[in-house]
Structure 1
Amino acid sequence: MKFHFLVMFVCTTLFVAAQQKPNIVIIISDDHAYQAISAYGSKLTKTPNIDRIAHEGVLFKKAYVTNSICGPSRAVLLTGKYSNKNGFKDNENSSFDGSQNTFIKELRKSGYLTAWIGKWHLETQPQGFDYWQILPGQGQYYNPDFLTMDGGQKKTAGYVTNVIEDVAEDWLNQRDTAKPFCLVIGHKATHRVWLPDTSDMGMFDSINFPLPGNFYDNYAGREAAKVQDMTIANTMIMGYDLKMFSTEKEENGDGNIKRMNPAQRAKFDAYYQPIYQDFKARHLTGNALSEWKYQRYMRDYLSTAASLDRNIGRTLDYLDKHNLTNNTIVIYISDQGFYLGEHGWFDKRWMYEESFRTPLMMRYPGVVQSGMVNSEFVMNVDVAPTLLDAAGVAIPKDMQGESFLPLLTDVNAKGREAMYYHYYENGEHKVSPHFGIKTKQYKLIRFYKRVNSWELYDLKKDPNEMHNIFNQKKYEKIESDLHHQLLQLINKYDDDDARQVLKIKLAMEPQSF
């Protein structure tokens, strides 16, 4: 009898101890701009469910990424290491080495159930997860295929954002409730080609969005910006991007549309075909055409984001309904920022603010006060150590990120003085590889390969980064100081690629301008 009681006591104690570890839900969107989130003050749209995470937790006003492109961003988040250390530098030549350590593996070793559902985009199969079901590559918006753990591939009827949420809830329903869990929900939205759910088509058609003030940027003094190929005016494709197909044959040949079932296709045609007929009758050219394309882009992009926000609401409602809210950390983050017409652009990649900065918010009941706003520098490389810190798991010494939990719980904690960035890809959109440093007031960038140049910005005087002040005499001292700080960060993160560009070894003499 005593032995039976002892066994029950030990089992109960272990169960309670396990449940004291916080559950974790990480929601990662794709290309979702902070400018399109009302918690950040956006006037373009309302995002009540994403905002709820911020209102019930903390909104990070100065969150950034180490490398603004989707695959590398996910690798950074998983490993807590910069791209040069985790090996996934770009989407063109990299595949993720799943044998390396990740925060997921550390959580699993400490007793967590782990799952990744949705967009993965790391070229290799996930490792370290109890469960995964992922989109192949970028995935599709309608009736998406999923890769499964048994090596199979299956097509699931529906709109991808809804389907990913369905699968996530199914996993939560079937999990072992005696263990804490870490679930990553990877959404495809709002990645190009911004294809909304049929229920959201047209929801912004009555709105005429104001042009960004630098929509007609001429890129004076910025050589890398001059050679890029990511403008709404010249790069955005009428059919592929904006669904303006000149013939039925052209429309039928589009892979996104071919996946639709008859009901979905009928709703698609009923919405987009009248828009195309009206467009054709206008005979637009020049700036009028560019501005028409901008309006269509914004309407499709924000309509696609509407489903994202709605399904994030479903996640939060699920946690409420199943009494999980009070012991679950919820993080919302995009894989990077995105351009909504600033500089005339769409896409990402740059160290300029709209691309470099990302939305990030976290709800952690009992630890993080509701309604907090944090303005310290934090980065996506910090997510892994932060979650291990919250779970009471030792942070591996080779993780380069820093837990931002102290910034939320200790009034004396100090954040970074400066951030380091490195973008490697030298292909799509002709964005030149570059690295650089951002401080509270300045940003220094070194472009290489496609363009070899330096850029310097005074962010207080020039927050839109329109005036490159590099090599101006009155900024000589600032340039020297920033260059020294840049070299320190290159050495801190052991970025040998940057060292080679600057033709330096481990020394930090500022001789390489």
Structure 2
Amino acid sequence: MMKMKYLILSNLILLGICGAKAQTGRPNIIFIYTDDQRFDALSVVQKEQGDKARFPWFKTPNLDRIAAEGVRFRNAFVINSLCSPSRSTMLNSRYNHLNGIANNHTGLKDTTVTYATEIRKAGYQTAFFGKWHMGNETGKRPGFDYSASFVGQGKYLDCPIEINGVAQPSKGWIDDVSTTNAVNYIKENKDKTFLVTLAFKSGHGPFQPPVRHKDTFSDATLTKPVSESLDSPYQGQIDTGKKGPGAAPQQKKGGSWTENNDEKIRNYFRTLAAIDENVGRVLATLDSLHLDQNTVVIFSSDNGFFFGEHGLGDKRAAYDESMRIPLLVRYPAKFPKGKLIDKIVLNLDDAPSILDLAGIKSPASFQGKSWVPLIEDKVKDWRTSFLYEYFYENGYGVPTIKAVRTETGKLVQYPGETGWSELYDLSKDPNETNNLYNTSEGNKLKTQLGKELEKQEKSVGYINPEFADPKPLDENGRYKRPQKELIP
């Protein structure tokens, strides 16, 4: 009899503890992001696009599951389409002209206030796995109790991993290894409230998928983008002192960009197919541990990527394929299933949203805002435009950019080079094929967006920072032009 009473009492105590945890509104949070994943590199988006889809053969069942069981933001963007700048913004919710990261080779010094530091103060166990990539920083990742990360870009196979700053060898495909490390951490901390950040190397080039996907999509038909034959205005116009595709990412003669990069495109999607499998491993772990209901899973990317749009590869430029990213959020205990949100959200909003989910007020330094109220239909006013910035990086033929994107239009300026300006009416021209900047048709839109650009610059304190790489300018303050054709 006494034993029975003890069991009942124990169960009541256990239920009380679990109930108390649920009532605190403090869910576990898993923030997963990839590298260079386009917004449309999801099969749920490909299906939505119908006959306009470029990659209808690409399947992401696990990511589609998050979308079906949670929320999909259809207009998520980055404020700077480059790996290190974007990843730093994810951490500290600050524009890159302020947070010290304007390129891929500078370390992040502004780590004193991030989502990790603030959520850790509130009692969360915090862990970081995978690609940090602010320059070639080493050591334990700041703000996290535990980190298993690699230096810089790392490598796809057998990449050395720093466990809390101490280098150790690893065996296998790096994103499989990072996922295993994250899954093990979740299992070990299942009885605690945790924040796990899992940052993948995929799909960064040179694309090297795991062996299991070496032949995946070999029979897929590649479709050319409608803007493939349209050069961006700066292509081949900047003398960077560097030869090759980084200096002038033009399409090669003798065929289209898509045809010349056939295997590159397939390998990109092969790496992302493996990422979908690894996301599935994380979801299965949550299911098996019965953590799925009270765990928020956020999936996103650090920027988009070009596959021939405007004759481009890589990212950086202010076209939507570069700026636009996937953003999926699942929180079964509180958020609806299959909700679609079309409001503009930014990577600037990741940190404040994570803190909001944990019931923590964002620090004054954060420039973004939580998208949680959007999900809960508690927002009356939301942004309808934002400032995009990119700063010239040594050795690359992409100039400094400042642009404003609204829900229906885009103005792109290249400081010092007025002849390169671009203007698009996205409501009529979503593929950005008709530059209206020097047309009478575009005068009204140009005036409107010019004013909005000035407004956005002022609101975020825009400057061309001293820590940006020096631009290769001539005596007239314009970019130096190459002396000869870079592609014969």
TM range (shorter): 0.7 to 0.9
The question of whether the paired residues in 2 share the 8 Å contact of 1:18 and 1:178 is answered with no
Uncovered stretches (5+) of structure 2, i.e. residues with no partner: 1-11, 47-54, 247-251, 469-488
How far did 1:85 drift? 2.2
Match of 2:440? 473
- What amino acid sits opposite 2:119 in the alignment? L
Match of 1:212 among 225, 243, 246: 225
- Per the alignment, in what secondary structure is the counterpart of residue 86 of structure 2? helix
Instruction: Indicate conservation of the 8 Å contact 2:42/2:58, yes or no.
Output: yes
Question: 1:131 and 1:227 mapped to 2: Cα distance?
Answer: 46
User: 1:18–1:82: structure 2 CA closer, same or farther, 3 Å change rule?
Assistant: farther
Which position in structure 2 is the counterpart of 1:227?
Answer: 237
Counterpart pick for 1:203 among 216, 225, 229: 216
Is 1:489 paired with 2:463?
Answer: no
CA deviation profile, 1:198-231 (whole Å, cap 9, x unmatched): 11101111222122222232x2xx42245379xx
Q: Distance in 1 between matches of 2:361 and 2:258?
A: 52
Pairing of 1:117-196 with structure 2 (within 5 A): 117-123=129-135, 124=137, 125=139, 126-149=141-164, 151-175=165-189, 177-196=190-209
Q: Which residue of 2 aligns with 1:4?
A: none
Is 1:53 matched up with 2:60? no
Q: How many angstroms apart in 1 are the aligned matches of 2:238 and 2:149? A: 32
Task: Report the Cα distance in structure 2 between the residues aligned to 1:10 and 1:395, rounded to whole angstroms.
Answer: 34
> Over aligned residue pairs, what C-alpha RMSD do you find?
2.7
Aligned-residue offset at 1:497: 2.0
CA contact (8 A) 2:85 2:104 kept: yes
How far has the Cα of 1:394 moved from its partner? 1.2
Contact 2:257–2:311 (Cα < 8 Å) also in 1: no
1:479 counterpart SS class: helix
**Pick aligned residue for 1:366 from 316, 333, 343:** 333
Q: Is the 8 A contact 1:29 1:334 kept in 2?
A: yes
Q: Equivalent residues in 2 for 1:399-478 (5 A)?
A: 399-410=366-377, 413-448=380-415, 453-478=420-445
Greater helix percent: which structure? 1
Amino acid at match of 2:260: K
The alignment partner of 1:350 has SS state of coil
- Distance in 1, matches of 2:409 and 2:465, equals 19
Residue 111 (str. 1) matches residue 123 (str. 2): yes
Deviation at residue 383 of structure 1 after TM alignment: 0.9
Aligned partner of 1:322: which letter? L
Structure 1 residue 342, shift from structure 2 partner: 1.9
Corresponding residue for 1:39?
44
Task: Supply the AA of the counterpart residue of 1:169.
Answer: V
Q: Relative to structure 1, is the Cα distance of residues 67 and 289 closer, same or farther in structure 2, using a 3 angstrom cutoff? A: closer
User: Offset of 1:235 from its aligned partner?
Assistant: 3.0
Give the stretch that moved more between structures: 434-443 or 422-431. 422-431
Distance 1:127 1:389, change over 3 A: same
Query: Using a 3 Å threshold, how does the CA distance of structure 1 residues 451 and 203 change in structure 2: closer, same or farther?
Result: farther
1:136-157 deviation digits (Å, cap 9, x = unpaired): 10011001111221x4211101
How far 1:13 sits from its partner (Å)? 6.9
Partner Cα separation in structure 2 for residue 324 and residue 11 of structure 1: 15
| 1:471, distance to aligned residue in structure 2 (A) | 3.4
| Matched position secondary structure for 1:161 | helix
> Are 1:97 and 2:133 matched, yes or no?
no
| Structure 2 residue identity aligned to 1:158 | G
Map of 2:3 onto structure 1: none
1: CA distance, partners of 2:342 / 2:43: 17
1:368, 1:13 → 2: CA distance?
24
Matching of residue 65 in structure 1 with residue 78 in structure 2: yes
Post-superposition offset of 1:10: 11
Contact 2:174–2:201, Cα closer than 8 Å, also in 1? yes
Is 1:27 the counterpart of 2:32? The answer is: yes
Distance 1:340 1:308 in 2: 19
Deviation per CA, 1:464-485, whole angstroms, max 9, x where unpaired?
2122211323433322221221
Q: Is the 8 A contact 2:99 2:110 kept in 1?
A: no
Q: Unaligned regions of 5+ residues in structure 1, if any?
A: 1-8, 237-284, 502-513
Counterparts of 2:74 and 2:111 in 1: how far apart (Å)?
34
* Residue deviations 1:320-340 (CA, integer Å, cap 9, x gap): 111110001101101011112
For normalisation by structure 1, the TM-score amounts to 0.80
- Alpha-carbon distance in 1 for matches of 2:405, 2:223: 29
Helix, strand or coil: the match of 1:326? coil
Q: Using a 3 Å threshold, how does the CA distance of structure 1 residues 224 and 117 change in structure 2: closer, same or farther?
A: same
Q: Does the aligned pair in 2 maintain the 1:18–1:111 contact within 8 Å?
A: no
Q: CA deviation at 1:459?
A: 1.1
Distance 1:53 1:474, change over 3 A: same
Residues 208, 295 of structure 1: 8 Å contact kept: no
Residue in 1 that maps onto 2:485 = none
SS in 1 for 2:254: helix
Residue in structure 1 matching 2:93, options 75, 80, 87: 80
Relative to the length of structure 2, the TM-score reads 0.83
- Counterparts of 1:30 and 1:291 in 2: how far apart (Å)? 21
Letter in 2 for 1:55: A
Deviation at 1:486, TM superposition (A): 1.1
Residues 423 and 442, structure 2, Cα contact 8 Å, conserved in 1:
no
In the aligned structure 2, how far is the partner of 1:412 from the partner of 1:290?
Answer: 43
CA contact (8 A) 2:227 2:432 kept: no
Deviations 1:51-87 (A, max 9, x none): 1111110111100001101111111011111112221
Match of 1:380 in 2: 347
Q: Cα deviations across residues 230-270 of structure 1 (Å, max 9, x unaligned)?
A: xxxx739xxxxxxxxxxxxxxxxxxxxxxxxxxxxxxxxxx
Q: Is the 8 A contact 2:100 2:110 kept in 1?
A: no
2:84–2:133 contact (8 Å) kept in structure 1: yes
SS at match of 2:421: strand
Hey, what's the Cα distance between the residues in 1 that align with 2:77 and 2:438?
27
Q: Is contact 2:404–2:410 with CA below 8 Å preserved after alignment?
A: yes
Amino acid of the structure 1 residue aligned with 2:332: P
AA matched with 2:425: D
